[in-house]
Amino acid sequence: MTTDCIFCNIVNGNTDTIFLYEDNTLVVFKDINPHAPVHLLVVPKKHIRSINDIEPSDHAIVSALIGAGKNMASQTGIAASGYKLVFNVERGGGQMIFHLHLHLLGGWKR
């Protein structure tokens, strides 16, 4: 837990953010500034800065993020039409919140 980290505060329930899914490892909530009809964030409870910082012992967390992204794609009805799962890594990769998160984006009309 890093108290000045917005996503630590969200995953610890210190904000009014509604979780669409939660388990011991991660939470899922809507992006506040969506870039797609469906834009969810899959966020580990553990504070990890970015993909650059994952250790081998974190690989199960990363796997869980991807599995939750897949499940939420199905739950939100975009699995068949298709979607993106995106990790932005560091400033050059578009990362603005330095607490690891997976973007689930989809639901565009063809």
Q: Does an H or E element contain 42, and which?
A: strand 38-44
Q: Could you give the angle at the alpha carbon of 33 between the alpha carbons of 74 and 59, nearest 5°?
A: 55
Exactly one of 65, 83, 95, 100 binds ligand 5GP (CB under 6 A); that residue is 95
Q: Quick one: DSSP state of residue 58?
A: G
CA geometry: angle at 67 spanning 37 and 42, to 5°?
50
Q: Report in angstroms how near the CB of residue 3 gets to ligand 5GP at its nearest.
A: 15
What tokens appear for 93 in the block? 């990769």
Q: Which is nearer to Zn ion, 2 or 74 (CB)?
A: 2
Catalytic residue among 39, 99, 101, 103: 101
C-beta of 21 vs 98, nearer to Zn ion: 98
Active site residue 103: no
List interacting residues with ligand 5GP (CB under 6 A). 6, 17, 29-33, 41, 88, 94-97
